[in-house]
Amino acid sequence: MAIIVDNDTKLVVSGLTGSEGRFHGLRNRAYGTNLVAGVTPGKGGQDVEGVPVFNTVSDAVGEAGANTSMVFVPARFAPDAIYEAVDAGITTVICITEHIPAHEMLRVYTYVRTKGVTLIGPNCPGVLSPGKANVGIIPAEVFKPGSIGLVSRSGTLTYQIGNELAQRGLGNSTIVGIGGDPVVGSSFIDVLEKFEADEETTTVVLVGEIGGDEEEKAATWISDHMSKPVFSYIAGFSAPPGKTMGHAGAIISGSSGTAVAKKEALEAVGVKVGTTPTEVAELVIAAAG
């Protein structure tokens, strides 16, 4: 098993005919993901290296059997691309696009939730289930199959910790980059719940950062519902208060949203928190040994 994407994933890329959508869509296909279609209005009937392009997601679902959408279009079009995918019957939407206004994402989030669709992102690296499917921009070559679930707000830290684990002979069941915007489709809790139910996942690593209170909420949920061991890394211990650091959601105000507060909340419920990506990997190794 894996979560969100797997061998049954049939991917349609909104924006496959664009340079970035083409590059990453074909890279996902080269990894083994079943890329069945692309969507670009007005370009239906064309193809991208043998992948058929449709005018609508509905056509891609009806004619190619797509069940997962990757959104790789400019920010001004991305909300409509998500709505279109949901209305077409897509069950999983992974939005890579960044710079979508928060007020627009609030509407998207509310709509998607009413439909029971899994939305990852926006402004995220995507989802990788090693050996099964890669949907997004995650460099799959640094990961290996295994039983460690990894969920993160940061793309690059995800890659670093995954590589640290792989170098020590450990692999991942699924890697999920939820995105660093203030409003994202899936929270830490949403993903932790999936990992808790996944038979293949035995351990979880949560990578957080300054800003907001999602890590604190996750700590409470872990305490009440999580039976599997969870380890964590929080980025931003040296970040100055009131300053955005990288992600739009990575901003702290006073003592709220600091790395120290998040670390304390997680450790209070038994989650071991490493001070570096390397230390997180070593903590996982020690627990597994």
User: Any idea which residue has 């409470």 for tokens?
Assistant: 220
Q: CA–CA separation, 59 vs 56, rounded Å?
A: 5
Reported CATH class of domain 10-120: alpha beta
Residues spanned by CATH 3.40.50.720 within the chain? Answer: 10-120
Going by C-alpha positions, the residue among 105, 106, 110, 107 that lies closest to residue 95 is: 105
Predicted pLDDT of residue 137: 97
Q: CA–CA separation, 285 vs 168, rounded Å?
A: 8
Residues spanned by CATH 3.40.50.261 within the chain? Answer: 139-288
Q: Residues 206-216, buried b or exposed e (16+ Cβ, 10 A)?
A: bbbbbbbebbb
Per-residue pLDDT of the chain (289 residues; tens, 9 = 90+): 799 999 999 999 999 999 999 999 999 999 999 999 999 999 999 999 999 999 999 999 999 999 999 999 999 999 999 999 999 999 999 999 999 999 999 999 999 999 999 999 999 999 999 999 999 999 999 999 999 999 999 888 888 888 899 999 999 999 999 998 889 999 999 999 999 999 999 999 999 988 788 999 999 999 999 999 999 999 866 666 655 555 544 454 445 578 888 999 999 999 999 888 899 999 998 887 6
pTM for the model stands at: 0.93
User: Any idea which residue has 């990578």 for tokens?
Assistant: 207
Sequence-separated (6 or more) residues with CB below 8 Å from residue 80: none
Reported CATH class of domain 139-288: alpha beta
Predicted pLDDT of residue 150: 96
Catalytic residue among 24, 99, 103, 247: 247
Residue 247 a catalytic site member: yes
Predicted pLDDT of residue 289: 62
Q: CA–CA separation, 142 vs 277, rounded Å?
A: 14
